[in-house]
Amino acid sequence: MDRPLLLLTSDDGIDAPGLLALRQALAELGDVSVVAPEHNWSAAGHSKTMHKPLRTRPARLADGSEALVTSGSPSDCVALVLLGLLGRRPDLVLSGINLGANVGQDVTYSGTVAAGMESVIGGVSAVAVSLDTYEPGDFRPAARFAAHLARQMLGARLGKPLLLNVNVPARPEAAIRGVQITRLGQRTYHDFLLQRADPRGRPYYWIGGDPPTGVPEEGTDIGAIAQGYISVTPILLDLTDYSRLAALRAWNLSFPIG
């Protein structure tokens, strides 16, 4: 029986230490292929390159293992493979390990999560993995848990593709209290607009601010990592606000207007 194929990507780019840690942790589970962007795509969301060619070239990770680097986004990396780049469809896609949590509304911005969304759209289950720190951290606990979760998913009868968003607290492995199955929490952003002038006096802008925080409500991803637990959140791509359907139907909208 063929070994399963696991596809790895990262929105932090081909040289990301989290990608290397994940690659090493998954080596025993099957055939592992790394296809990752040539540079950082953090906060790129679900980007797809449609207006120019995509290019790939061979690369090597820091441990010497083979990889492919692309000119596209994390979503492009997954799409290329699902459409035949490797000559074989993956059995599971893993994205990460991202430097910085992807919780709450972050999932709409995250290139890490977007790669998993692209995989599910293409019919393959996926895991997006993030570490809750913006400083250089130890990715090994997150990588070991991701490998454990990947083994579970490869052995499960899922029926339809499943997307799991995983966030790991930046703690020593002995200080991680366990795992919680969670829902998305409420993120709080502290962005502000910086206006500056170029040498010719023309204005330009930076969106800056302090790192986001969140409401550590029980049962949410934010609450779980605040308490020292790994958060595992199943994500759906159906963004329909079902609670508003009846109210909208009561408006009796019609066309032509008047």
Q: In angstroms, what CA-CA distances link 4 with 21, 72, 89?
A: 19, 25, 10
Q: pLDDT digit string (tens) for 190-236? A: 999 999 999 999 999 999 889 899 999 999 999 999 999 999 999 99
Provide the pLDDT for residue 258. Answer: 64
Q: Is residue 209 part of a domain?
A: no
Q: Is residue 57 part of a domain?
A: yes
Q: Is residue 24 part of a domain?
A: yes
Q: In angstroms, what CA-CA distances link 45 with 48, 74, 117, 154?
A: 9, 9, 10, 27
Q: What does residue 246 show for φ and ψ, rounded to 5 degrees?
A: -65, -40
CA distance 114 to 47: 8
Provide the pLDDT for residue 256. Answer: 83
CA distance 88 to 83: 9
Task: Indicate which CATH number applies to the domain containing 15.
Answer: 3.40.1210.10
Q: Is residue 193 part of a domain?
A: no
Tally of CB atoms within 10 A around 116: 33
Residues 6 or more apart whose Cβ sits within 8 Å of residue 201: none
CA distance 63 to 19: 11
Q: Is residue 210 part of a domain?
A: no
Three-state DSSP class for 243? helix
Provide the pLDDT for residue 194. Answer: 94
Helix/strand/coil (H/E/C) assignment for every residue in 30-81: CEEEEEEECCCCCCCCCCCCCCCCCCEEEEECCCCCEEEEECCCHHHHHHHH
Q: Is residue 207 part of a domain?
A: no
Q: In angstroms, what CA-CA distances link 93 with 46, 50, 136, 167?
A: 16, 22, 24, 16
Q: What is the pTM of this model?
A: 0.93
Provide the pLDDT for residue 181. Answer: 98
**What residues make up the domain containing 144?**
5-186+215-249
Provide the pLDDT for residue 212. Answer: 92
Q: How many structural domains is the chain composed of? A: 1
- Strands across the sheet with 66-70, in order? 56-60, 66-70, 31-37, 5-9, 92-99, 126-132, 163-169, 229-235, 178-181
Per-residue pLDDT of the chain (258 residues; tens, 9 = 90+): 589 999 999 999 999 999 999 999 999 999 999 999 999 998 889 999 999 999 999 999 999 999 999 999 999 999 999 999 999 999 999 999 999 999 999 999 999 999 999 999 999 999 999 999 999 889 999 999 999 999 999 999 898 999 999 999 999 999 999 999 999 999 999 999 999 999 999 999 999 889 899 999 999 999 999 999 999 999 999 999 999 999 999 998 888 876
Provide the pLDDT for residue 43. Answer: 87
Three-state DSSP class for 175? helix
